[in-house]
Amino acid sequence: MQDQKVVVITGASSGIGLAAAEQAAARGSQVVLTGRTERRLTAAVDRVRAAGHGREPGRFLADFERLAEVRKLAEHLLDTYPRIDVLVNNAGMHVPSHRLTEDGNEATVQANHLGHFLLSTLLRDRLRGGRIINTSVRPAPNARIDPDHLNTPAERYHSVPVYQMTKAANVLFAMEAARRWPDILSLSFHPGLVRTNIGEGTAFAYVFRYAPFLISPQRSAAGLTPLITGPAAGLRNGGLYAGGRPLRLRQTIFNPDVAARVWSASEDAVRQPG
């Protein structure tokens, strides 16, 4: 039985996002893809159309390093879709050296967390009764986050810890969304170590393209798609999932106090009350 859900997936022009879009379309969902480049997004739309047996997917170009483009994306979605059943906050990047966006935020935290925080907040009312799923990672044992200052200054910037911090912020965002927005099922998803284009043009990208232990985007998405299209029964609001099972999180970082502070810092960074 096909589910006919409206599913918005950011970062869907390649990797996990594209694979999940194809799988959701094959299950009957109306999929909306976002991406940063016209060429890749067009190719992705063709693949998702084929997977959905000719159903035309939605599409929108948006660079999450520009909050104005995130706002335009939200406006387009609100104008186009009377309901949105699932928002998959999947777009992400690894930035090798410190740089600021035009909005004044460090680029990694804006692309990986703040842009999705803003989009989710703008779509909040349209998502009532639906789901928000953040692509995150299983937190590293040494993961750290300053819940009051999400923007790392240049003198303390190291790309891998900052990337890990943004992924922790994704998990904390879902936790706090579950508390503030109980009428939306908010989850995080650990994709595993996946062969993707993240960090393209850097040494970091080489690892995520050629390391022999990596899994395919299709295999990773097979763990994400049930969170998108499957029943909500048994899913824990605010939880981080891997392989269909919730992961245990360290309470020293992943607790209600830190989650609330990350939310407040995110509001300040995007100037969007939630």
273 near 267, Cβ under 8 Å? Answer: yes
77 near 123, Cβ under 8 Å? Answer: yes
CA 273 to each of CA 83, 204, 264: distance values in angstroms, whole numbers, following the listed order: 22, 35, 9
Q: How far apart are CA 91 and CA 52, in angstroms?
A: 22
132 near 119, Cβ under 8 Å? Answer: no
Count CB neighbours of 40 within 10 A.
16
Element (H, E) at 138: none
| Residue 177 identity | A
Residues marked active site are found at 163
CA 222 to each of CA 19, 42, 159, 219: distance values in angstroms, whole numbers, following the listed order: 8, 23, 29, 5
Element (H, E) at 257: helix 256-270
Token code pair at residue 53: 């047996």
